[in-house]
Amino acid sequence: MLRRFSAGETHAHVSHISRRTPSWWSRFTNSVFPPSDDDIESYIPHYRYTPIISGIIIPFAILLEIPGLTEKWYIRTQKGHIVDTQPNPAILDVGLGFSIGCALIANICLIIRFLEKRVKTMTILCTVFLTIHDVINITAVTIFGVEHRFNDGFTYGESFWMTVCSTIASTLTNITLIMDLIRTPDFEKSGDGLTRKQRSLVIIIIILFVYIALGALINSLLLQLSFINGLFLTVVSIETIGFGDIVPTSTAGRIFVCAYSAIGIVNIGVVVGLFRETVMEGLEVGYRKRVKDLSDNRRAARRKKRAEHRWKQAVMWRLRDRRAPTWIREKKRDEARGQWAWFRIWLANLAFPQSVFTKPSSSSNLNQGPHGMRLNLEALTHAQLETAALEAGVPLESLLPPNFCPSQREFRTSEDENADKPTLGSLTHERIGRMAAVLTRFAMVAYDSAGTATQNQENGGENRSSAWALVGPSTGTTNSSGFALSGALPSRTSSSDSLGSDYHAEVAETEKKAFYARLTIAWALFIIFWMVGSAIFMKTEGWSYGISMYFCFIAFTTIGYGDYAPNTPAGRSIFVVWALLGVGAMTILISVVSEAYSSRYKGIIQSGLFEKAVRQYRKR
């Protein structure tokens, strides 16, 4: 009794522990660092590229706008140093404060969207607040720029250019969100469009930017720097560039820089690693999505082939039932119509919608037969053609040739003429009633094993039902009602083989083209980033283009010799944005190139060339 009670108590205790909800810390770490075995198949139907762009760029807008509110927009410089400033108008500070508030609310809405809570509502709210933010910033920057366009010895400060960069980032984010909202069908049920790793990357980037903003604030207070110079020092420190133009001069500043940079470098490393994994995952999801599209197209082609076969079987059965020629020459169609063809076409179009008698050009060869023959469709009425299309399972307009006019009298024999001839009973209702049984594979196998194909082929060849075409052509086993009950489906199998023989080659060719497209985009992004950055710094710093290219390469490879560094307000403002974006550009390039070398290496190993080279080496 005691042992039984103890066992039951232990079981209840274990069940209570198993039902215990995980702590908030475990849920947070699981969200930020998802498991490596996360199934990405579930993300393929709703995966999109624009949400990750929005999630990465929107923190820039907030980070870069902080100096616009804390620093002066109009300054006078001498040898790279600020010697005089003009205070910002009060309405400008109020407007920027309201603008930053809107940006913060928009960022919160975007985070809630990425947590898949009210995705459509949060997206709409985010676009509304970003639109307000953009309108305020564009108005402020434009009016301030127009009013101070004269040469009075002052120039636009770093805070002005930071606000310009913030406005550009915010506008780009707003555009991507609106595009995603408009272009995504059934948006409410399509999720946020991110995988778990991409969602983790967005969260890590937001944490990184908060960390950078906090470091810039502390550096500016400890070292008596402006917020922009503190931000510049923070960025070059955690990215290990270190130009040496701004350095900590106090003991407290040196201690803080050492501790802050150690944590910041780790944070940057986590972002770079997660960014690379996200890029690789995005490539994998894109590859699987392309393979899925190819598979869907392949299945659609198979269904089309089966529908075409069902259509031909149904039409041929009805032509035989009417004692009309099954195949006719192509020219007989125009001869049968004669000089009044236009009048019959006009009457047909008046009686039936024009769309019924038109079809895509892809089905132009559907009703064609061997040796220039075609199906005698004019011998059937519109109702008979509709019934045949119903049995085929596709709309009639996709089966008829262009400008087809069904004749109600052509090739029709009188009832008296056919009175003494045996006719085939209509099997439409029986087909519909037994459709479920016919479509069952097990029934096919059972009938195939029990039937006598040769005898039934001889007895029921003319009575072969077109309804069996619902599952494919039969080899001939029929019952008393004319149903084909068995068969190896040779026509369907041959059509499937013809459709699927090049499937793997098509997938490989598609992935090869996609890989070269990714490689081209990565190199183009890198080169454009390099060339455009060189042109910008040539303009802001007064360097030659060659020196600017040298500086850009030394900067985004984090070598940082310090012989060249941005000193102008515009140059440092742009460098903060350019350096942070450079990490992403370099990571994308390295990820794609490393994937190329990895794939090439695996291909060499799997192809046996490596083993062949080793054997040849050992024979020496």
Give the residue extent of every domain in the chain.
Answer: 42-193, 324-412, 503-620
What number of H helices and E strands is found in the chain? 21, 5
Residue 348: its pLDDT value, please?
A: 55
Residue 551: its pLDDT value, please?
A: 92
User: Which structure tokens are listed for 409?
Assistant: 């009298």
Which residues have a Cβ under 8 Å from the Cβ of 234 and sit 6 or more positions away?
A: 212, 215, 216, 219, 260, 264
- Tell me which residue has tokens 């049984």: 437
Residue 22: its pLDDT value, please?
A: 60
DSSP H helices in 322-374: 331-337, 341-351
Q: In angstroms, rounded to a whole number, what is the distance separating the alpha carbons of residues 115 and 123?
A: 12
Fold of 42-193: Butyryl-CoA Dehydrogenase, subunit A; domain 3 (1.20.140)
Q: Which amino acid is at 400?
A: L
The gap from C-alpha 202 to its chain's centroid, in whole angstroms, comes to 18
CATH of domain 503-620: 1.10.287.70
Q: Could you say which residues of the chain have pLDDT below 50?
A: 1-7, 9-11, 14-18, 40, 42-45, 332-337, 350-364, 408-434, 436-438, 440-444, 447, 451-499
Beta-sheet strands, E only, within 505-581: none
Q: Give ∠ CA 269-273-275 in degrees, rounded to 5.
A: 115
Longest dimension (CA), the chain: 116
Q: In angstroms, rounded to a whole number, what is the distance separating the alpha carbons of residues 217 and 214?
A: 5
Residue 568: its pLDDT value, please?
A: 80
Residue 138: its pLDDT value, please?
A: 93
> Residue 74, by phi and psi: left (phi above 0), alpha (psi -120 to 50) or beta?
beta
242: number of Cβ within 10 Å: 18
* SS3 of residue 452 by DSSP: coil
Residue 332: its pLDDT value, please?
A: 47
Question: What crossing angle do the helices spanning 90-114 and 119-147 adopt, rounded to 10°?
Answer: 160
Asked if residue 510 lies in contact with residue 497, where contact means CB atoms within 8 angstroms, the answer is no
Residue 362: its pLDDT value, please?
A: 45
Q: In angstroms, rounded to a whole number, what is the distance separating the alpha carbons of residues 508 and 516?
A: 12
Closest to 82 (Cα-Cα) out of 145, 146, 164, 158: 158
Residue 26: its pLDDT value, please?
A: 62
